[in-house]
Amino acid sequence: MPDEKNTMNDSTTEIDISKKFLVDPYVNWSNGEGIPVHLDFGHNLLELETDIWDRWDARGCFAHTHGRGDFMANYVIEIAPSKKSAPIKHLYEAFFYVLSGYGSTTVTNPDGETRTFEWGPKALFTIPLNCSYQIFNGSGQENARLSCTNDAPLVLNLFHNEKFVFGNDFEFPERLGDTRHFDGEGDHVVVNRGDNVAEANLWETNFVNDLTNFKLYAMDSRGKGSLNVSFILADSTMHAHSSEIPMGRYKKAHRHAAGTHVHAVSGTGYTLLWYEGDKAFKEFPWEHGFMYTPPFWMFHQHFNTCDQPARYLACSMGSRRYPFIALRRKSAEGKGATSIQEGGRQVEYVDQDPRIHRKWLEAIAENGVSSNMGDVFDETAIMALPQEELEGPIKTPPSIGPAI
């Protein structure tokens, strides 16, 4: 019999491979919005270049980071004096942190009722899922600039349909929360996480007027004198928490999943980051306006070098109520503040590389700040260490058990 030809294979169609292979709908969307897309390890959000963003009828830019992971991203919205944004709604969750300026936000509930709340610098708020909202600049002279941490990558990559994400009329009335939650009020929930694990303090709300003065609760497991609270915002799957580092102290190193966007709120200092086996630290500055995202499983450690407490805001995928991914569930259970030698993700002070404490002592001395960590470290001995003990791979104790 003569050879039969597979006619289906006879014709070759030229295609645009970018539309058929390894497609990233979120990246395509952000690149197509017509505003700057900044990509770096972290950013000073107060200084990033913005441009007209037609979708918002305002200025904006994307503040992408190398460690943002698969689910999370950040953009900046800038509203001109006495102006307002266009009404907008979307199926992704969004947490707003006010970088500068004063204004208000009006949220339209599914039943048509509107709620308006006023905000200033260092306020935190969220929009209940798929509610329409507008942002107003209340000043006639100064711009208002807000940082928006969101899970748009997750939603756009899942549905890869912009009309579905931005033009969907489905309502989520269960996400609205108590009517008090847009007045800056909320509900404090304390969760006992079991033996040898610090209790979790949760604050359920939609709006925090000022993160610098908001009440936090003791969390010594991350460092003596540390304070913390986790937020449940509009019943979101995203997580946020605020922590405080006392003057003359710093936090313990830890690691976790990608996508945690860390905003410095108050105080000054720095964060050190490294992977096991690295010979040098990566350093990121700590001051209001700075935001960075530690990459997956990269150790990072926060240091206060000023003469007052230092606070930060961290936003990530997986809340204390809805962990979403296994690593976040383990964090909620307390493994994030458990030693890596006990199967957790934290480096205890006794196990840390001596150059970490020495560097910090030198930094606070330049600012005229005294250490309050003499109860943990022999600081005279650390400052006297020979140079050869401060070189080579960064010392990190071996972890025990699987990656959690």
> Checking DSSP bridges between strand 269-274 and strand 282-286, what pairing results, if any?
antiparallel
Q: Residues for the chain: how many in total?
A: 404
Cβ proximity of 177 and 204 under 8 Å: yes
Q: Which pLDDT value is given to residue 11?
A: 55
Cβ proximity of 242 and 316 under 8 Å: no
- What count of Cα atoms within 13 Å lies in the side-chain half-sphere of residue 263? 30
> Domains in the chain, ordered, with CATH?
17-176 (2.60.120.10), 184-349 (2.60.120.10)
Give 10-residue mean pLDDT values along the chain (404 residues): 48 68 95 98 97 98 97 98 98 98 96 95 97 97 97 98 97 92 94 78 96 93 91 96 97 95 97 94 95 96 97 96 90 82 89 95 97 95 88 83 55
pTM of the full structure: 0.93
Number of alpha helices (DSSP H) and beta strands (DSSP E) in the chain: 6, 25
Q: Which pLDDT value is given to residue 199?
A: 83
Cβ proximity of 149 and 72 under 8 Å: yes
Token pair 């942002």 in the structure block, residue: 135
Distance CA 99, CA 21 (A): 38
